Amino acid sequence: MENYRALTAYEIDILTKNGCSADNWKNLKVIDNFDPSRVSFSQFSGKMFLGSFSGFMEIDGIKRPCGIYHARLHNCAIDDDVLIDHIGSAIVNYHIEKNVLIENTFLLSAEKGAQFGNGVKVSILNEAGGRDVTLFNDLNAQIAYFQASFRHDSEFQQKLDSLIGKNIKSQVHSHGIVESGARIRLRHYKKCPDRRGCDS
C-alpha cells in the first residue's frame, strides 16, 4: 500500500508502554501522522496498515478519541479516524474504512475464499422446500421470481444457475470490508479482563 512507512523506534516504545505487542513490528506500517498514543492494550499479527487516529467520534453523546483499544488484529488495514474498542477475540483479514466504529464485538473474521452470504439457498413460497432461491449480491425480485416459479423448466434453471454461479465466483475475496461510516457494536457485551468471550 502506498504512503505507508515502518514504525520508528520511538513509536514502538510508546506502543509497548501502552500494553501493545506484535509478532513482528516490521510488519506494521503506518502513515506519517500516525499517533501511537491512540493505540493501547492491543495485539497485532500478520501484515498491518494503520492510518491516523487524530479525530474524535461522538457516541451516545460522548466525544471519544479515535484509535484502537483492547483489541487483537491480524492482517488488517485500518483507515483514518476509526474507533475500535474491546474486541473479545479478534478482527481478522479486514479493511476498515474511515470513520468506522467497532465496539464490544467478539469476532470479525473473513476467511480465505469467503463468499459473504453469496450462494446461500433459502426456501420460499413452500414450507416443504423445493422452491429454493440462491442469494447473491445482484439478486432482485425478478430473479428470485424466476428461480422460484420456473422450477419445471430445467433448461432455463440450468442457464440461470450458471449465470448466478459466475456472479458468486466473482464475489469471493480474501478480505472483508467495513465501509466508511459503519457502526458495529453490541451494547451489552460483557467485558472480561482477559478479553476472552464471556457467558452472558
pLDDT on residue 116: 63
Give tens-digit pLDDT for 22-51: 999 999 999 999 999 999 999 999 999 999
* Residue 42 to residue 87: CA distance in whole angstroms: 9
Which segments within 9-155 are labelled E, that is strand?
21-22, 28-30, 39-45, 48-50, 56-59, 62-65, 67-74, 77-78, 83-92, 94-96, 101-109, 121-123, 132-134
- The angle at the Cα of 78, spanning 29 to 84, to the nearest 5 degrees, equals 125
84-109 burial code (b ≥16 CB/10 A, e <16): bbbbbebbbbbbbbbbbbbbbbeebe
Give tens-digit pLDDT for 123-164: 776 665 567 888 877 788 888 877 877 777 788 888 888 887
Residue of 149 and 187 predicted with greater confidence: 149
Q: Give residue limits of the domains in the chain.
A: 5-113+173-185, 121-170
* Residue 20 to residue 42: CA distance in whole angstroms: 5
Statement: residue 20 has pLDDT above 70 = yes
* Residue 178 to residue 78: CA distance in whole angstroms: 10
Q: What is the phi/psi pair of residue 132, to 5°? A: -75, 145
Statement: residue 74 has pLDDT above 90 = yes
Three-state DSSP at 116 gives: coil
Give tens-digit pLDDT for 101-126: 999 999 998 876 666 666 777 777 66
Statement: residue 61 has pLDDT above 80 = yes
pLDDT on residue 200: 37
* Residue 26 to residue 120: CA distance in whole angstroms: 39
111-143 burial code (b ≥16 CB/10 A, e <16): eeebbeebbeeeeeeeeeeeebbbbbeeeeeeb
For 2, other C-beta atoms within 10 Å of its C-beta total 4
Q: What is the C-alpha R_g of the chain?
A: 21
pLDDT on residue 117: 67
